[in-house]
Amino acid sequence: MSRSPLAVVANAVSSENAPALPSSPADYKTEILSGLTVALALVPEAVAFAFVAGVNPLVGLYAAFLVGLITALIGGRPGMISGATGALAVVMVSLVAEHGVEYLFATVVLMGILQVAAGIFKLGKFMRLVPHPVMLGFVNGLAIVIGLSQLEQFHDPASGGFLSGFPLVLMLGLVALTMFIIWIMPRLTRAIPAPLAAIGIVAAIVIGLGLPVPRVGDLAQISGGLPEFSVPLVPLNFETLGIILPYALILAAIGLIESLLTLNLVSEITGKRGGASQECVAQGIANVVTGFFGGMGGCAMIGQSMINVSSGGRTRLAAASAAIFLLCFILFAAPVIEQIPLAALVGVMFMVVIGTFAWNTFRVMRRVPRVDSVVIVLVTVITVLTDLATAVVAGVIVSALAYAWQNATRIGARTFRTEDGAKVYKVQGPLFFGSADGFAELFQVETDPEHVVVDFEHSRVADQSALAAIETMADRYTKAGKRLVLRHLSPDCHALLRRSGQLVVESDDDPAYGVAVDYDVQPGALGGGH
Q: Which residue has the higher pLDDT, 157 or 39?
A: 39
Lowest mean pLDDT among 12-26, 151-165, 299-313, 359-373: 12-26
With 70 as the cut, is the pLDDT of residue 45 above it? yes
Which alpha helices (DSSP H) does 271-369 contain, by range?
A: 276-292, 302-310, 316-328, 334-337, 342-356, 361-365
With 70 as the cut, is the pLDDT of residue 165 above it? yes
pLDDT one-digit tens code per residue, 70-84 = 999 999 988 899 999
Lowest mean pLDDT among 4-18, 428-442, 446-460: 4-18
pLDDT category, 491, cuts 50, 70, 90? low
Query: What are the CA-CA distances from residue 371 to residues 50, 162, 398, 401 (Å)?
Result: 38, 40, 8, 10
Spatial strand order of the sheet with 519-521 comes to 412-417, 423-431, 451-461, 483-487, 519-521
With 50 as the cut, is the pLDDT of residue 156 above it? yes
Helix (H, G, I), strand (E, B) or coil at 78: coil
* Residues 176-201, mean pLDDT to the nearest whole number: 94
pLDDT one-digit tens code per residue, 394-426 = 999 999 999 888 888 889 999 999 988 999 999
Lowest mean pLDDT among 4-8, 339-343, 372-376: 4-8
Q: Helix 316-328 vs helix 302-310: angle between axes, to the nearest 10 degrees? A: 110
Per-residue model confidence (pLDDT) at position 524: 54
* Residues 114-118, mean pLDDT to the nearest whole number: 97
Which of 434, 430, 445 is CA-nearest to residue 478? 445
With 90 as the cut, is the pLDDT of residue 308 above it? yes
pLDDT category, 341, cuts 50, 70, 90? very high
With 70 as the cut, is the pLDDT of residue 176 above it? yes
Task: Provide the sign of the torsion angle of the four alpha carbons 53, 57, 59, 62, taken in this order.
Answer: positive
CB 493 within 8 A of CB 456: yes
Which of 234, 193, 199 is CA-nearest to residue 216? 199
With 60 as the cut, is the pLDDT of residue 499 above it? no
With 90 as the cut, is the pLDDT of residue 16 above it? no
Provide the whole-model pTM. Answer: 0.80
First to last CA, the chain: 39
* Residues 374-383, mean pLDDT to the nearest whole number: 94
Q: How far is it, in rounded angstroms, from Cα 21 to Cα 190?
A: 20
pLDDT category, 7, cuts 50, 70, 90? very low
Lowest mean pLDDT among 18-32, 88-102, 251-265: 18-32
* Residues 221-249, mean pLDDT to the nearest whole number: 95
Per-residue model confidence (pLDDT) at position 130: 87
With 50 as the cut, is the pLDDT of residue 507 above it? no
With 60 as the cut, is the pLDDT of residue 525 above it? no
With 50 as the cut, is the pLDDT of residue 11 above it? no
Average pLDDT, the chain: 86
Lowest mean pLDDT among 126-130, 145-149, 313-317, 504-508: 504-508
With 50 as the cut, is the pLDDT of residue 109 above it? yes
What percentage of the chain carries pLDDT values higher than 90? Answer: 59
* Residues 140-150, mean pLDDT to the nearest whole number: 90
pLDDT category, 521, cuts 50, 70, 90? low
CB 414 within 8 A of CB 383: no
Q: Which residue has the higher pLDDT, 500 or 208?
A: 208
Residue positions counted in the chain: 530
* Residues 188-215, mean pLDDT to the nearest whole number: 93
Torsion of CA 397, 400, 405, 406, to 10 degrees: 140
DSSP readout, 129-183? GS-HHHHHHHHHHHHHHHHHHGGGGGB-TTTSSB--HHHHHHHHHHHHHHHHHHH
pLDDT one-digit tens code per residue, 442-462 = 999 999 999 998 888 888 888
Report the b/e string of 336-354 with b at 16+ CB within 10 A: ebbebbbbbbbbbbbbbbe
Per-residue model confidence (pLDDT) at position 522: 63
Q: How far is it, in rounded angstroms, from Cα 260 to Cα 388?
A: 12
Cβ-based neighbours of 319, under 8 Å, separated by 6 or more: 35, 38, 68, 71, 72, 75, 78, 79, 80, 81, 82, 308, 313
With 90 as the cut, is the pLDDT of residue 389 above it? no
With 90 as the cut, is the pLDDT of residue 298 above it? yes
Report the b/e string of 233-254 with b at 16+ CB within 10 A: ebeeeeebeebbeebbebbbbb
Torsion angles phi and psi, residue 399, rounded to 5: -65, -40
Q: Which CATH superfamily is domain 412-521 in?
A: STAS domain (3.30.750.24)
Q: How far is it, in rounded angstroms, from Cα 260 to Cα 411?
A: 36
* Residues 238-267, mean pLDDT to the nearest whole number: 93
Q: Which residue has the higher pLDDT, 293 or 356?
A: 293
What percentage of the chain carries pLDDT values higher than 70? Answer: 88
Which of 233, 251, 234, 209 is CA-nearest to residue 91? 251
Lowest mean pLDDT among 23-32, 430-439, 483-492: 483-492
Lowest mean pLDDT among 63-72, 252-261, 512-521: 512-521
Q: Which residue has the higher pLDDT, 221 or 244?
A: 244
Amino acid occupying residue 155 = H
CB 199 within 8 A of CB 40: yes
Cβ-based neighbours of 17, under 8 Å, separated by 6 or more: 76, 77, 78, 272, 273, 274, 275
Q: How far is it, in rounded angstroms, from Cα 95 to Cα 103?
A: 7
Amino acid occupying residue 66 = L
Boundaries of CATH 3.30.750.24 in the chain? Answer: 412-521
Query: What are the CA-CA distances from residue 203 to residues 50, 131, 341, 354 (Å)?
Result: 24, 42, 6, 22
